[in-house]
């Protein structure tokens, strides 16, 4: 049963909590200017997608299933070794990231104590330490990794002129994973998409449903590989994390 924010009991029992993950990987990554989607670019002999999946697969909390949403005509997927992992389930993504995530959530059996990590395929530098911080949250508002804004933040008008300077003390930059009770997130995303709202992360759907997800300060190296220069940066960060376990 879906609980509304007014009715929820804030705490959940983490000892019985079941964990799953949804990894949206159906994007084309046009801002990378490469001939293949960015999640299939290689760093240290492994694709970005494999690095991202590997962090989830090796976490000691034992995520039961990782639902990977890929584009309908994905011709690169079959080259990946880690797909032999029985915990990975491949499904078809959607037109937008939010559609891909919702398709993934629809493959999770309904349950009150299943929590989902939603993690971008394009964030290969995630650490178990940051996942642990999310796992410490047991309030059904859920939580996301984020970093406080460092630069001064300007709001622009339509002519790229500064309209206003924001108070950066209250500005955070959202990352993934984002961690929520799976049923609540599915309901929130479904409702937001039915209303035609543009949803770029899971937390915004939960906010629209009346929840107040927690901001958990994450590492700044958990970058989303987006532009060509990000590839070298991700390679550097991964080389600094060379103690990472691999499957
Ligand atoms: O484009 P952006 O960098 O915001 O994409 C974030 C993540 O969402 C990527 O891992 C991308 O593959 C995924 N995505 C998706 N389905 C789409 C668009 C993006 O799964 N239709």
Residue 7 alpha carbon to ligand 1 centre in Å: 33
143 lines ligand 1 (CB under 6 A): no
Q: What is the pLDDT of residues 104-135, one digit of tens each?
A: 999 999 999 999 999 999 999 999 999 999 99
Q: What are the residues whose beta carbons fall under 8 Å from the beta carbon of 196, sequence distance 6 or more? A: none
Q: How many CB atoms lie within 10 A of CB 172?
A: 16
**Rounded CA Rg of the chain:** 18
Q: What is the per-residue DSSP string for 86-119?
A: TTEEEEE--SSHHHHHHHHHTTSPP-TTEEEEE-
Strand partners, 173: 147
- The 3-state DSSP class for residue 146 equals strand
Domain residue ranges of the chain, discontinuous segments joined by +? 17-246
Average pLDDT, the chain: 93
Which of 72, 100, 178, 193 to probe ligand 1 with, by most ligand atoms within 8 A of CB?
100
Which of 27, 32, 174, 178 to probe ligand 1 with, by most ligand atoms within 8 A of CB?
27
Mean pLDDT of 193-199: 95
Distance CA 116, CA 31 (A): 28
∠ CA 160-27-60, rounded to 5°: 110
Instruction: Write the DSSP symbol of residue 199.
Output: -
Q: How far apart are the first and last CA of the chain?
A: 37
Tell me what percent of the residues of the chain surpass a pLDDT of 70.
93
pTM attached to this predicted model: 0.94
Instruction: Read off φ and ψ for residue 204, nearest 5 degrees.
Output: -65, -35
The fold of 17-246 is: Spore Coat Polysaccharide Biosynthesis Protein SpsA; Chain A (3.90.550)
> Do 117 and 56 contact (CB within 8 A), yes or no?
yes
Q: What is the pLDDT of residues 59-94, one digit of tens each?
A: 999 999 999 999 998 989 988 887 889 999 999 999
């Amino acid at each position: 049963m879906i609980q509304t924010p007014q009715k929820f009991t804030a705490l959940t029992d983490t000892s019985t909590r079941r964990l799953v993950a949804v990894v949206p990987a159906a994007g084309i990554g046009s801002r990378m200017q490469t001939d293949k989607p960015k999640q299939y670019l290689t760093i240290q002999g492994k694709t970005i997608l494999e690095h991202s999946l590997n962090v989830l697969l090796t976490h000691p909390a034992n995520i039961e299933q990782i639902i990977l949403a890929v584009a309908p005509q994905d011709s690169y997927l079959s080259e990946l070794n880690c797909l032999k992992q029985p915990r990975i389930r491949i499904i078809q993504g959607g037109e937008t990231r939010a559609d891909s995530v919702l398709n993934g959530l629809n493959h999770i059996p309904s349950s009150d104590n299943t929590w989902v990590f939603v993690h971008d395929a394009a964030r290969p530098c995630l650490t178990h330490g940051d996942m642990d911080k999310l796992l410490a949250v047991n309030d059904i508002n859920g939580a996301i990794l984020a970093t406080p804004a460092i630069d001064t933040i300007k709001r622009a008008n339509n002519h790229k002129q500064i309209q206003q300077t924001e108070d950066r003390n209250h500005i955070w930059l959202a990352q993934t994973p984002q961690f929520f009770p799976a049923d609540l997130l599915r309901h929130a995303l479904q409702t937001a998409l039915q209303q035609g709202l543009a949803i770029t992360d899971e937390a915004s759907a939960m906010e629209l449903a009346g929840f107040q997800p927690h901001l958990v300060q994450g590492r700044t190296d958990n970058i989303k590989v987006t532009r060509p220069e990000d590839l070298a940066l991700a390679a550097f960060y991964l080389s600094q994390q060379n103690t990472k376990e691999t499957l």
